[in-house]
Structure 1
Amino acid sequence: MKTLIRSACAIALLLPLTATAKVSADEAQRLKDGGDLTPLGAERAGNADGSIPEWGGGLMSSEAPEKYEGFNTRLYNPWPDDEPIDVITNDNLAEYKALLSPGQIALFKKFDDFEMPLYQTRRRNGAPQFVYDATFENATKATLEANGEALANAIIGVPFPIPGSGREVIWNHKTRFRGMSGSRWNVQAAVTSSGAYNLVKLYEDFKFNYSLKDATPDSLNNVLIYFLQEIREPARLAGQFLLVHETMDQVKEPRRAWLYNPGQRRLRRAPNVGYDNPGTGSDGLRTNDQLDSFNGAMDRYTWKLVGKKEMIIPYNSYELHSDEYEYDDILGRGHINQELTRYEKHRVWVVEAEVRDGTSHIYASRTFYVDEDTWTIVLQDIYDKRGQLWRVHEQHVLASYGVSKQFGEASGLPGTSAEVAYDLLNNRYLAFAMNNEEDEAQEAKFGDDHFTPSNVKRMARR
């Protein structure tokens, strides 16, 4: 009897974490035309003083600048005449502190010349209609299971457009629609305190299995994302491959990863590709789970949904993405060239993550700021085990436009011009996900067999 009581108590304690409440059909109607939410779950209305406007729908191809040459070509600024309404510096920082994170404020304190050009807010991110339709269906069906590590009964769209927990918000980030499959250059630079750096050029193929237009929960084979990365430069690292199958239910099956080392000429399973192990070519300035702000299993943290607030965040960063600039123009001593950045006021979801008892991570706690329109983690404050602010991570986002051969109108899909991870203690930073001197990301159709260990071996020996 005592054993049964203990078991029942254990099950009761787990229940809040093993399943989440689905919203009612009436509440889901808020996502439809005439409701107060956008089809992806953001507030349609602007704020009280008008500094955040009403959502304007996804940016369409008809609004692209004249020099835009079509899908798979460079994304140019659709609002080239925009000028900053103010530039935040140490001189006027006090006026804006309430709209900044502790990490952003620390960057101003760290660098006398740090600035944030503040522009009018433009809310033109969106997705194709089939993603909206899937999001509406997910709202009344999606659940989290296996202590929040497994997403069930959701596909294609945002799983939790009306979230009730921190885990749901982070799952929305991990599954947000960014297209279906393709390739991109990911150029990164670990910049020293003196401003010196060496470039590492990565070429990455990806397939968002969850986002395929004809996907169903049963068709995924428990794979959320396929990912294949090859180091192209520098020569001393060239030829290294990383293959990842990001699983949907990481309790049922943890992330599958393989690493090919050209020196050993062997492909091996790589269980250490995850959590707080150093990211490829990062010089220890970011963890594996820090790519795309956060990725992978969530079981080492507790996740608290603090709520929503107005903040100044990097947004519509087309200038930073421009091929008119070389990496030397972007990478400076202490921080990137802030004159090329763009910041706007938006509403964000705030999620606090604390290391769970019985687990470990070099980041003892992290605060994530998630854009309501795209579900992208655009900002992150990272603390060490002493509770000291250690790193600040910004994801500079932009809206994609054009017409995809895979899914039709791009409708303002979220994209990235650069991610920057600042180390406040070592006075260094890592800039990555850049492609200013390379080709734009390319849409490509890959079969599952492209992301197999046998194919990686063939590619490595070509």
Structure 2
Amino acid sequence: MRSRMMAGIAVLLWGMAGQAVSKVTPEEAARLDRDLTPVGAERGGNASGTIPPWTGGLATPPPGWQRGQVEVNPFPDDRPLFVITRDNLPLYRDRLTDGHIRLLSEYGPDFFMPVYQTRRTAAFPEHVYAKFRENAVSAELLENGNGVRNTIMTSPFPIPGNGLEVIWNHILRYRGEEISFRSAAATPQTDGSYNPVVSQYDYFVAYSKKGATLADIDNKIFYLKTETLSPSALAGTLTLVHETLDQIRSPRLAWRYDAGSRRLRRSPNLAYETDLPNASSLRSVDQKDMYNGAPNQYNWRLKGRREIYVPYNAYRLHDDRVRPDDVIRPRHINQELTRYELHRVWVVEATLRTGISHIYHRRVFYVDEDSWQILASEEYDAAGALWRVSEAHNISFYSEPVFWTTMEMTYDLKARRYYVDGLNDGFPAYDFRPGFRAKDFTASAARRAARR
């Protein structure tokens, strides 16, 4: 018993030590203007030239695009350099995630990965880059890593010292100040049949507002209101979320309005392993946006950086001429529309803490060095078996320089089914200037909107 106690103390001290590295010195932060990009990525390419240097990303729209239009493909003439299949998998195994190896092995030959020229398109506004530099020398993890302090607007730790800091970089990455868009989600049956659920998403990102301080935002990262538009059986359902910065001190607040009862009720369980609404039990709430919420259920380990093939520059999936029927296939999406590139990613492993309950006992995240966006992840069950594989297909938006997902999916290897969100059925372009105010996202405002 004594040896187990001492071992437990050692693990606790190791974990605390791992979380102690936070703000860096001004001398270290100066690297963000030299060998590192303002975001913290390596500015140079790799030795073989297959990853190019970062030269500012896709900071200006391609010719012919106008504000209000859906983003067009800036690389229309690009063709795959090669295609990874089940048959040639051994040639590329060392640059694939374990999840993609499984998908290629089990779902091939229909599941394949077309690999294109690497284009480092991630870009952000100049005032966001300035905040990266400020956050680098001021941001700190709160006790036990359940929140951060002395940081605002964007990722706190451009020069991370541990896995928890990388995850906070993803959670707090810049996605604009306000966003309004419409998309459809589906959980296709094994034969490919599906019934899409169309929703309206409205975000007010208090944390990223220009000029905001931590005192101003009252521990809020963002406010989110979603309304289900179809099918008719679900239409009118509304969800309101107040996402908090320190979810242990002040947990996430959520309300749900059901059109049948015409009542707005608190939803205290809209977090962690709870089933994501309308996902047919194929995805948990904390998988939305690849990972969200308080990181207190896991121990986080930074495993370093790797060069791997990941989803990137998914403008063909984002194309407003592509419809759900073009995307949906049995067992996985139409891989003809995907694009994978070789990028450097941070690899973070999360293992469930002792005494904590969650359906995923281990998770592995692959985080883009140029944007802090999680590009892929793997979710393991209690027996240590790979259960689910998730992807985020991303683009650089034009009306606001933001690198963000256009489509996410989770493949369930046991059920042989998947969940996909981000399907476009002729919807308008993302609006990054809808003119929202924080008071538009109160419970009373949601109740009034739901009853109209």
TM-score (norm 2): 0.95
The answer for the alignment partner of 1:91 in structure 2 is 87
Q: Which amino acid aligns with 2:426?
A: E
> 2:373, 2:404 within 8 Å by CA — same for their partners in 1?
no
Query: Whole-Å Cα distance in 2 between the matches of residues 17 and 225 of structure 1?
Result: 28
Equivalent residues, number: 442
Work out the CA distance in 2 between the residues paired with 1:106 and 1:368: 16
Name 2:204's counterpart in structure 1.
Answer: 207
1-structure distance, mates of 2:81, 2:208: 37
CA–CA distance in 1 between the matches of 2:341 and 2:396? Answer: 14
Distance 1:93 1:65 in 2: 38
Q: Secondary structure at the match of 1:210?
A: helix
Amino acid at match of 2:325: D
Q: Deviations over 1:252-308 (max 9, x none)?
A: 111111111111211111111000111121111111111110001111111111110
Q: CA deviation at 1:65?
A: 3.9
Structure 1 stretches lacking a partner, 5+ long: 1-5, 403-409
Kept in 2, the 8 Å contact 1:17–1:147? The answer is: no
For residue 120 of structure 1, what is the amino acid of its counterpart?
Q
TM-score scaled by structure 1? 0.93
Shift of 1:17: 6.7
Pairing partner for 1:264 from 243, 258, 261:
261
Which residue in the other structure is 1:372 paired with? Answer: 369
Give per-residue Cα distances to partners, 1:141-177, cap 9 Å, x unaligned. Answer: 1001131011100011320000001110010001111
Question: Relative to 1, partners in 2 of residues 1:18 and 1:253: Cα closer, same or farther, differing over 3 Å?
Answer: farther
Q: Distance in 1 between matches of 2:182 and 2:427?
A: 7
User: Secondary structure, in 3 states, of the residue corresponding to 1:320?
Assistant: helix
Deviation at 1:132, TM superposition (A): 0.8
State whether residues 347 and 365 of structure 2, in contact with CA within 8 Å, keep that contact through their aligned partners in structure 1: yes
- Comparing 437-446 with 364-373, greater Cα deviation is found at 437-446
1:120 alignment counterpart:
117
What is the DSSP-based 3-state SS (H/G/I as helix, E as strand, rest coil) of the residue aligned with 2:192? coil
CA shift, 1:434, in A, is 2.6
Q: Check whether the contact 2:240–2:256 (CA below 8 A) recurs between aligned residues.
A: yes
How far does residue 334 in structure 1 lie from its aligned partner after superposition? 1.3
| Residue from 149, 153, 160 that aligns with 2:150 | 153
Q: Choose which of 255, 275, 280 in structure 1 pairs with 2:252.
A: 255
Map residues 51-130 of structure 1 onto 2, 5 A cutoff. Answer: 51-61=50-60, 63-66=61-64, 68-70=65-67, 72-112=68-108, 113-130=110-127
Aligned 8 A contact 1:19 1:147 in 2: no
1:243 aligns with 2:240: yes
Q: Which amino acid is the alignment partner of residue 371 of structure 1?
A: D
Change in 2 beyond 3 A, CA 1:187/1:175 = same
Secondary structure of the 1:352 match is strand
Q: Which of 327, 347, 372 pairs up with 1:350?
A: 347
Q: 1:254 to 1:18 in 2, by over 3 A?
A: farther
Tell me, what secondary structure is at the counterpart of 2:145? coil
Structure 2: give runs of 5+ residues left out of the alignment. 1-5
Q: 1:442 aligns to what SS in structure 2?
A: coil
Note if contact 1:275-1:361 (Cα within 8 Å) is conserved in structure 2: yes
CA 1:195–1:267 in 2, change beyond 3 Å: closer, same or farther?
Answer: same
Return the offset for 1:445.
1.9
Q: Which residue of 1 aligns with 2:26?
A: 25
Q: 1:233 to 1:118 in 2, by over 3 A?
A: same
> 4+ residue runs of structure 1 moved beyond 2 angstroms?
9-21, 433-437
Distance in 2 (CA, whole Å) between partners of 1:15 and 1:279 is 32
- Equivalent residues of 1:65, 1:77 under 8 A apart: no
Q: CA deviation at 1:415?
A: 2.2
Is the contact between residue 421 and residue 430 of structure 1 (CA under 8 Å) also seen in structure 2? yes
Aligned-pair RMSD on alpha carbons? 1.7
C-alpha contact (below 8 Å) 2:248/2:294 kept by paired residues: no
Q: Alpha-carbon deviations, 1:420-444, whole Å to 9, x = none?
A: 1100111100110233421121121
* SS class of match (2:306): strand
1:277 aligned residue: 274
Q: Which amino acid aligns with 2:43?
A: R
Tell me, what secondary structure is at the counterpart of 1:46?
coil
SS at match of 1:335: coil
Structure 2 residue aligned with 1:308: 305
2:315 counterpart SS class: coil
Equivalent residue, structure 2, for 1:180: 177
Q: Is the 8 A contact 2:139 2:156 kept in 1?
A: yes
Question: Secondary structure at the residue paired with 1:147?
Answer: helix
- Distance in 2 between the 1:235 and 1:432 partners? 19
Q: In 2 relative to 1, CA 319–195 (structure 1 residues): closer, same or farther, beyond 3 Å?
A: same
Task: State the match for 1:329 in structure 2.
Answer: 326
- SS of 2:326's equivalent in the other structure is helix
